[in-house]
Amino acid sequence: MTAPPALLRMSAPLRDDFEIPYHHIGDGEPKVAVVAGIHGDELNGVFVVSRLARFLKAVAAGEHPGQRLVAPVLIVPAVNVLGVNTRNRRWPFDSTDINRMFPGYDAGETTQRIAHAVLELTRPAHYRLDIHSSNLDFEEIPQVRLYEPTERERDSSRLFGLAAVIERPMNTIFTSTIGHAWRAFGGENFVVQAGQAGVLQPPHCARLFRALVAFLVRSGILRGVDLSEEDEDTHYFGLRQTLPLISDNAGFFLSRLDVGRWVQAGDVVGQVYDGFDGELRHEIKAPVAGLLSGMRRQPLLFEGDLVARIQTRHPVTEGVDTYLHGQGQ
Amino acid sequence: MGVRIDQDAILTLQLPYRERLQVRRTVFDGGGTPTVAVVAGIHGDELEGLYVCHRLAAWLESLVTRRPDALRGRVELYPALNPLGVDTLQRFVPVFDTDLNRNFPGHAAGLLPQRITEAVMRHLAGAALVLDIHASNVFLREIPQVRINEAFAEHLVPLARRMNIDIIWLHGALTVLEATIAHSLNARDTPCLVVEMGVGMRITPAFTDQLMTGILRAWRDLGVLDSDVPLDDLTHHPLIADDSNVHYLNAETSGLFVPEAEHWTSVTKGQRLGCIVSAHEGRVLSEVRSPVDGVLFTLREYPVVYEGSLMARIMAVAAPSACGGLDG
């Protein structure tokens, strides 16, 4: 087996030289670029896109009769290789967040060089996908995230067939992410978010895999693949249709709710207990009806912490800007 | 009217298990105007500013004992905006794993970091001068300097010139830096100077002395202190650095960086500043040489480097001998 191509090779202070390998499936300039593992602890994305690479390679090799890869696809399962291996969200040496280093610089700091190399590799593609998994504390349904999208991106976001497309406000931090850097190159760019960091979640992985395949089929890149299961109903949530649910109480947080279900106004989302005397301090209820797109999984709760996100059918006026710099990206 | 010295908390938040987090300040109030403030410890591993706050508190306590009338305005000291970070030796806000200085101007109903920054903004707005003191990070040692966004240069450079620092570094306007305390305050017409000096996890008393002189003189100029309060003369006059004259030396290879030149000395083009060596073998992997005649104002403190790690910054100076060394 030949070694895979690498977007960057670098010496390490003590261990072997390391590289950031990727898959280039099909011949010629890539039409699609899929990037995961910019955060080293977001494992759903790394795992799913590695499986996608295997599937697409088999298709390209003619192992699936009747199926054909029409245009080349680039896949980077993990940008933050050292972070994956040491279970670290950030670049482990200097604790920089690679997704805050874009557009990068080829003569700059290590993570600037990494960012630059990822951008150069993915620049020629028309469709660019950045796959994430929230963080260690929070679980999110597989969803497409859009930041000040173009009309074409709004339309194409439905091709994934995921239950939620969520538009989020642009903010000053987002300007240093790969999603923002890609915009300078044109094309269509998407952030896809699935599950929780630090764990591998088979149901979310299955949904994400199907969504990526559905996108490739519907954008005409993959032919002959039958998307046997029905799509979930896709709901498009605009800027004012995200309600972050905040706890004003600190303590131990408990919830039995799964993400992806619909809640009614007044439904109990979870409880907050005093971790010293065991007293039930507060019951957190949904203030509005909507799709539970994200749930807190970390029990330790600070005053002001996010416990859930609810996507509402109608615009809500409050709280929209609270999470401009919120958890996950 | 008497001088009041108070300690209070600008924000109190419940932690998950019983304890509370408080962002505390010490206020020396002479009863009049204007108000000035010093903030430090936004990054929990930067301690130089905490020591500056201690020294300023000691100086003010002594002043109001001897001459209570000499304090006219109001001084607020905020030694640790990220108290949980300082107390647990973490640069970022613990648990939230976020850079507090990328969370401004914050939000009263946001997450803990945003609640801190919102409270800070609310209390500092309207001050005549805010100093935000940083201590680089654990990797790099910095000469006392003030960093100024070009967008605010006209107003801030004259203030910075009198801070007894060695360099004023003008940098371009980056969108991501809009989430810093300095940008957020300056954009709301509260002048804020960002001081960088020393190195993370350490204090450098000589730098503290140097900066103290500048701070106290600035306060006297602003009328916070009576005009007849005797103060040391300025001993440092800053050079102006910007994108055109600052040269970055990034590591060509990974290894151990061993410096040979002294921090804050004049260097000549081609001079060897240090080398990168291998821990496995005897050879030198890379020689680090100055690309220009100038002054070495940033020098790497932490030896391990990756390809790309910053080892030094040099400001090009036509006649480097004209620059002073580090005053003792």
**Confidence class of residue A317 from pLDDT cuts 50, 70 and 90?**
low
Report, as an integer, the average pLDDT of A153-179.
93
Query: Minimal Cα–Cα distance from A181 to chain B, Å?
Result: 13
Residues of chain A with Cβ-Cβ distance to B110 below 8 Å are: 304, 322-323, 325-326
Contact between B103 and A327 using a beta-carbon 8 Å cutoff: no
- Listed as own residue / partner, the contacts of A113-117 with beta carbons closer than 8 Å and 24 or more positions apart are A113/A8, A113/A10, A113/B307, A113/B308, A114/A8, A114/A20, A114/A79, A114/A80, A115/A178, A115/A181, A117/A7, A117/A8, A117/A20
* Interface with chain A: mutation pick from B254, B257, B311, highest number of A CBs within 10 Å: B254
Residue of chain B nearest A307, judged by CA positions: B111
**Amino acid present at A18:** F
What architecture (CATH level 2) is domain B244-322? Beta Barrel (2.40)
Partner residue facing A322 (CB), from B107, B112, B306: B107
Report, as an integer, the average pLDDT of A5-29.
94
Give the pair of three-digit tokens for residue B278: 């291998």
DSSP B70-82: GB-SEEEEES-SS
The answer, yes or no, to whether residue B314 has pLDDT greater than 80, is yes
Partner residue facing A109 (CB), from B115, B304, B310: B310
Contact between A250 and B98 using a beta-carbon 8 Å cutoff: no
Cα dihedral sign, B148-B153-B158-B161: positive
Residues of chain B with Cβ-Cβ distance to A326 below 8 Å are: 110-111
What is the tens place of the pLDDT at every residue in B47-89?
999 999 999 999 999 999 999 999 999 999 999 999 999 999 9
Contact between B309 and A323 using a beta-carbon 8 Å cutoff: no
Structural domains of chain A sorted by starting position, each given as residue range(s) with its CATH number in brackets: 6-236 (3.40.630.10), 240-315 (2.40.50.100)
Residues of chain A with Cβ-Cβ distance to B95 below 8 Å are: 300, 302
Contact between A300 and B17 using a beta-carbon 8 Å cutoff: yes
Partner residue facing B250 (CB), from A93, A107, A303: A107
| Closest alpha carbon to B320 in B255, B247, B256 | B247
Mutual angle of helices B205-222 and B48-66, in 10-degree steps: 50
Task: Check residue A1 and give its pLDDT.
Answer: 64
Residue of chain A nearest B175, judged by CA positions: A172
Share above pLDDT 70 across residues of chain B, in percent, rounded to a whole number = 97
Count of all residues that appear for chain B in the document: 328
What is the tens place of the pLDDT at every residue in A179-233?
999 999 999 999 999 999 999 999 999 999 999 999 999 999 999 998 877 777 8
* Sequence ranges of the domains in chain B: 4-239, 244-322
Torsional class of A264: left (φ above 0), alpha (ψ -120 to 50), beta (otherwise): beta
**Confidence class of residue A325 from pLDDT cuts 50, 70 and 90?**
very low
Give the pair of three-digit tokens for residue B173: 């306007």
Residues of chain A with Cβ-Cβ distance to B97 below 8 Å are: 89, 135
Give, in order, the Cα–Cα distances in Å from B270 to each of A185, A324, B22, B254, B320.
39, 47, 51, 21, 14
Q: What are phi and psi of B217, to 5 degrees?
A: -65, -40
Which residues of chain B approach chain A closer than 8 Å at the C-beta?
A: 13-18, 91-92, 95-98, 102-103, 107, 109-115, 139, 175-176, 178-179, 248, 250, 253-256, 279-280, 304-310
Task: Check residue A255 and give its pLDDT.
Answer: 96
Residue A281's CB is within 10 A of a number of other CB atoms, namely 16
Contact between B17 and A173 using a beta-carbon 8 Å cutoff: no
What is the tens place of the pLDDT at every residue in B228-265?
999 999 999 999 999 999 999 999 999 999 999 999 99
> The pTM is what?
0.91
Task: Check residue B318 and give its pLDDT.
Answer: 78
Q: What are phi and psi of A31, to 5 degrees?
A: -95, -30
Task: Check residue A172 and give its pLDDT.
Answer: 80
Residues of chain A with Cβ-Cβ distance to B310 below 8 Å are: 109
Kindly provide the ipTM of the predicted complex, given to two decimals: 0.87
Task: Check residue B319 and give its pLDDT.
Answer: 59
Q: What fold is seen in the domain B4-239?
A: Aminopeptidase (3.40.630)
pLDDT, greater one: A318 or A329: A318
